[in-house]
Structure 1
Amino acid sequence: MRTSLIAAVDLGGTMTKIAFINMHGDIVVSWQVPTDVSDHGKRIITNIAQEIKKKLLELSISKDQLLGVGVGAPGPFSETGVMYTAVNLGWENDYPLKALLEQELGLPVRVENDANCAALGEMWKGAGGGAKNLVCVTLGTGVGGGVIANGQIVRGAYGAAGEIGHMTVMTENGFICNCEKSGCLETVASATGVVRLASQQLEATSKASLLRTKQSFSAKDVFEAAKMGDEIATFAVDRCSSYLGLALSHLGNTLNPDVIVIGGGVSKAGEPLLQAVRRKFNEFAFTPVRNSTRIDLATLGNEAGVIGAAWLIKQNNDLV
């Protein structure tokens, strides 16, 4: 009996990750290719289809072994698979991603926001441990998020639910965000936010700091300096953790998930960040929430997106 597989795609503005994944969530093969955003991204869909066909041929896998294609992409979607906006891909608004890829491959396609796919991946095979109520927060260049309730992604009226990075955590004198609001979580809990907090403190005081010896520094440098007891770096990490813990407490009080999963590059700071966030979460969370919602680090790394995209197809087949 031939094994049924799922083609999973994590479509990013720079690189596209593709994988064949079995129904147990195990990656059989994965690879990545540059995303061609030239000419308004008109070759992206064709390139993805060609990559899948080429890999099938290379591995001597029949196309009828593929149950379908799950795709995570950076933008909000309609229920019919139309991408409302795709700034990083060059596409026009209301881009029919699902319909076009189905036309190219002749396979069922399901599409979802990439942060939502990461949440689904962590729910299925990662830190969520199968929990059906989960929030996933990704701390990278920005702050993204996905909300799962009763095993289903919460999309909202316009597909924009889960925009955790744009929760306001600084109501006065907040930093300006790329979304043009001020005081967003993204401005203080992303990699750039941590650097911003440290830079602001360096300007506000003349205290010695390891960070002053660097012409420029990253969030990783800030966390490493904090581990060494650097006062300014510690201040920045504490503020980041405080804002993040506050935001997560609001999510906890509203949703009471089984678990809040923290992923992305900033999460590599590990246990020191996690413990600080937990302390602030416990300070602000409603007691029943504090006692029932746990906060853990993500475990899937950059595989979360493709595993979550595969879940879209698995779930659909489980319901048939």
Structure 2
Amino acid sequence: MGIYLSIDIGGTYIKYALMDEQHRLYNHQKIDTPVNINHAILKQIETIVENTTVKYEIDGVGISTAGIVDRTEGEIIYAGPTIKDYKGTSFKSLLTDKYKLPVHVENDVNAALLGEIWKGAARNQNHVICITLGTGIGGAHYDHQLKDGFNHQANSVGYLLYDQETGTNYEERASTAALHKRIEEELGSEFSVQSVFEHAKNGNESCISIIESWAKEVAKGLAQIILITDPKCILIGGGVSAQGDYLLKQIQNQLEVFLPDNFLKTELKIAELFNDAALYGAVYPFLNKKNNTF
């Protein structure tokens, strides 16, 4: 047991914190994610590790990151347009060589799911899908262990349901960014996602219509996931998950349309740990070695 540094790299922010021996996160920090020119993100992570090791004696570094990760090598093997020139970033080998510390690297949605299984809404569950609704849509699958697929490309759910007519995929129609775009087009830029939810809860017909239409797009993708994987539970994460039971009800009402009668047995739940989920999950392997089968 000891102190671990947990880092969560997103397209907008890098968040980091320390975890103590009682599994409590503390000393939370957040900085803007730099434009990734000349390995700027790797250099920023080195600075964070450097500054932390000066003040604390840490026993390992856990990194949660956007992109597809080869966790054995601790390397980014695929990244979309959110972070440029990210493929090939070898966090594990470079940081281990430089700081002589064990390093674990995990995809951010996988890390969030591990966090929720360890400390959040999916405690003691062994067959869980996690879907994060944000700028895009991320997915993770845990069936007694994380399921990556042969080429590490499983759970790339944002690319589901490509529509040739519109040239859009699932995340381009069902992400929170897609919802925000629709709100701006129909109501104007002065309305936010949060304000539209509030107006919908208060009976505003235009806002209800927008939320219902968007929830239908979310449900289309979830139905495909249920049909293929039959999970016990689907966790909904991302900033919009703060809408809680109202969001779940909207999605659930639409979901049954895309499934056979009496087919919906999967429980939908809201993720509990919000911004801390991936920070917990990034260091989970260090602190749960007996259960570390991935």
- Give the structure 1 partner of residue 279 of structure 2: 306
Q: CA-to-partner distance for each residue in 1:210-248, whole Å, 9 max, x for gaps? A: x3xx45433223322322322222122111112222321
Equivalent position of 2:237 in the other structure: 263
Question: What TM-score comes out, normalization by structure 2 length?
Answer: 0.86
Query: Which digits, 9 at most, give the CA deviation of each residue in 1:57-104, with x for residues without a partner?
Result: 43xx434xx1x2211111112242221234544445322221112112
Partner of 1:37: 35
Q: Quickly say closer, same or farther: Cα 1:4–1:289, change in 2 above 3 A.
A: farther
Separation in structure 2 between the aligned mates of residue 242 and residue 92 of structure 1, nearest angstrom: 33
CA spacing shift, 1:276–1:89, aligned 2, 3 Å: closer
Instruction: Tell me how far 1:199 sits from its aligned partner.
Output: 5.7
| Aligned with residue 5 of structure 2, among 4, 7, 16 | 7
More deviation, 277-286/306-315:
277-286
Q: Tell whether 2:54 aligns with 1:69.
A: no
2:104–2:283 CA contact under 8 A, matched in 1: no
Q: Paired residue for 2:117?
A: 123
Contact 2:42 2:89 (C-alpha < 8 Å) held by counterparts? no
Alpha-carbon contact 1:195-1:219 (below 8 Å) kept: yes
Once the two structures are superposed, residues 6-50 of structure 1 have per-residue CA deviations (whole angstroms, 9 ceiling, x without a partner) of 2211112332212222465421432223334354224x3344244
Whether the 8 Å CA contact 1:71–1:111 is kept in 2: the answer is: yes
Return 5+ residue gaps in structure 2 as ranges: none
Of 45, 48, 68, the residue aligned with 1:48 is: 45
Q: Which residue of 1 aligns with 2:215?
A: 241
| Rg (Cα) greater in structure | 1
User: RMSD of the alignment, in Å?
Assistant: 2.7
**SS state at 2:77 partner:** coil
Question: Alpha-carbon deviation of 1:311?
Answer: 1.1
CA distance in 2, matches of 1:22, 1:290: 41
Counterparts of 1:215 and 1:112, CA distance in 2: 36
1:172: how far off?
A: 6.8
Query: How far does residue 260 in structure 1 lie from its aligned partner after superposition?
Result: 0.7
Question: Which of residues 290, 299, 317 is equivalent to 2:264?
Answer: 290
Deviation at 1:187, TM superposition (A): 2.2
Number of paired residues?
A: 291
**C-alpha deviations, 1:114-139, integer Å up to 9, x for none?**
12111111121111123121111111
Q: Distance in 1 between matches of 2:57 and 2:53?
A: 7
Contact 1:46 1:104 in 2 (8 A): no
Equivalent residue in structure 2 for 1:164, among 157, 178, 184: 157
Residues 171/132 of structure 1: CA separation in 2 closer, same or farther (3 Å cut)? same
Change (3 A) 1:119 1:287: farther
Give the one of 250, 257, 270 matched to 2:224: 250
Kindly report which structure 2 residues correspond to 1:86-97, keeping only aligned pairs within 5 A, or say none.
Answer: 86=79, 87-91=81-85, 93-97=87-91
Partner SS for 2:141: strand
Distance in 1 (CA, whole Å) between partners of 2:263 and 2:103 is 37
Instruction: Say if 1:39 and 1:145 are closer, same or farther in 2 by CA, change over 3 A.
Output: same
Q: Which residue in the other structure is 1:19 paired with?
A: 17
1:185 equivalent to 2:170? Answer yes
Structure 1 pair 164–81 and aligned structure 2 pair: CA distance change class (3 A): same
Secondary structure at the residue paired with 2:68? coil
Structure 1 CA distance, aligned partners of 2:174 and 2:83? 25
Gaps of 5+ in 1: 177-181, 203-210
Q: Distance in 2 between matches of 1:173 and 1:73?
A: 33
CA gap of 1:85–1:239, structure 2 versus 1, over 3 A, is: same
- What's the CA shift string for 1:173-209, capped at 9, x where partnerless? 54x4xxxxx2x22122222222344466x4xxxxxxx
Percent of aligned pairs with the same amino acid: 27
CA separation in 2, counterparts of 1:77 and 1:28?
26
What's the CA shift for 1:290?
2.3
